[in-house]
A and B are shown apart, each in its own frame.
Chain A
Amino acid sequence: MTDKISFDLVSPERLLFSQAAEMVTIPGAEGEMGVMAGHMPLISTLKPGVIDARIAHGKHDRFFITGGFAEVTAAKVTVLAEDAVPLASLSAEELDRRIIDAQEDIATAKSDAEMAKATAALDHLRRLRSAM
């Protein structure tokens, strides 16, 4: 039995999740990373993707985020998500709507950075959609 790490997921509008987890997988700017208790202190930006919190063996909570920040200390992971949705509540229609949103974002992007971000979000949404 490993030590658990406390995991908070907050969006600007509310606190979505606050519980201890065995391991939290977050989509870091420079690659996915699995965070467990005793991790080195780290602050990272996040890409659009899925956060996977393993509460216990075989028990996972998954959230889709559109980007954000993560602060990791030895005992705690805090994810500040721009927008977060539990994956379980994400329906095919909802995904389709988000895909259209992302396409609009690409069309209206003013800067390269915005463009890159929207494209990454779209890619991810498409992958999620095809996995369904």
Chain B
Amino acid sequence: MATVKEMRVRIGSVKSTQKITKALQMVAAAKLRRSQQAAQAARPYAERISTIISNLAASVGGPSAPLLLAGTGKDERHLIVVATADRGLAGAFNSAIVREARRKLAELVAAGKNVKILTVGRKARDQLRRQYGARFVESYEVGNKTPNMARAQPIAARILELYNAGEFDVVTLVHSRFKSVVNQQPVLKQLIPAVIENAGPAPFYEYEPDEVAILTELLPHNIAVQILSALLENEAGFYASQMTAMDNATRNAGDLINTLTIQMNRTRQAKITTELIEIIAGAAAV
């Protein structure tokens, strides 16, 4: 049985842990609001750019279509872009994304494909390095600021550079989709070749300059936009997940403090009772 002193020290340490988790929870809650707004603000652009691409793709077909749209016609070499957060302490947020990535990786490797990995976010790099280190082509960090175009552009540029050099046939992005504060889902999204949503019969458009010229400009830009939207959704999801995780941790610490306090009081009381019995027994003997 631990002594009262030991228990008091233990309670003190749990209390300071609780202070930290409480502070983290509040910081995450404050940041969540901002990043949620940023993620929502970026949605209209991403949606419209895919509508335009779909409309364009409907009228450009055959051999004139750019590589980014038509693909290389093969399915041999894959690049998986795994986007997580830089930091942890956010429950299963990062591991959920990495698990999804591993599933896809294992599937592709089992099918005998040539797979390479590009990571965005320290956690993706750290968690995948041991098993798949040899397949890494590049690792990026997300950084402390809210992701913006300047952050997404270099990553997109690197992917395009590799793609245009003929290194890959298919590029897939793994990130977390922010569904709600309590629900973030890891998703796979194929970046190249571009996936065309069937928008139904496309309106008849005039093009300035011609379709192919627009597409050659629009498609690379779309990659950057997709990455930006993934980073923004990740950030919102990260803070939501961190907020929930830290809220739970704070509550657990509170429970632990209560249990320990009761235990400590019992021990102290037991000691007092024993002493009292000894004194009374001694007095009675006189």
Residue ranges of A at the interface with B (Cβ–Cβ < 8 Å) = 8, 10-15, 28-30, 40-45, 69, 71, 73, 78, 80, 82-83
Contact = CB atoms under 8 A, between A and B. Distances in A.
Interface in B186-223: 203-209, 213-214, 217-218, 221
B44 A15 contact: yes
Given A43-B214, A82-B149, A71 B48 contact: yes
B203 to A, nearest CB: 5
A12 B38 CA distance: 10
Instruction: Kindly name the residue among B38, B52, B56 whose own CB sees the greatest number of chain A CB atoms within 10 A.
Output: B52
Nearest to A41: B205
A42 B214 contact: no
Contacts of B214: 43-45, 69
Nearest to B229: A12
Contacts of A45: 208-209, 213-214, 217-218
B45 A11 contact: yes
Given A30-B209, A44-B207, A82-B221, A71 B41 contact: no
Nearest to B147: A13
B148 interface: yes
Given A10-B45, A12-B45, A41-B203, A83 B149 contact: yes
A13 B52 contact: no
Consensus secondary structure, chain B interface: helix
Q: Name the 7 nearest CB pairs between A and B, nearest first.
A: A14-B41, A44-B208, A42-B206, A10-B45, A41-B205, A15-B44, A12-B149
Contacts of A40: 206
Interface residues of B, number: 30
Contacts of A82: 149, 221
B208 A42 contact: yes
B48 A10 contact: yes
Contacts of A11: 45
Contacts of B45: 10-13, 15, 80
Given A12-B149, A41-B203, A42-B207, A71 B52 contact: yes
Contact of A14 (B42, B51, B209, B218): B42
B218 A69 contact: yes
B236 interface: no
A71 B45 CA distance: 12
A81 to B, nearest CB: 9
B208 A80 contact: no
B151 to A, nearest CB: 11
Contacts of A83: 149
Contact of A41 (B49, B204, B209, B217): B204
B225 interface: yes
A43 B217 CA distance: 12
A17 to B, nearest CB: 11
B117 interface: no
A29 B225 contact: no
Given A13-B38, A43-B56, A80 B207 contact: no
B138 to A, nearest CB: 18
13 contacts: A10-B48, A12-B42, A12-B149, A12-B224, A13-B38, A14-B38, A41-B206, A42-B208, A45-B214, A45-B217, A69-B217, A69-B218, A80-B45
A104 to B, nearest CB: 13
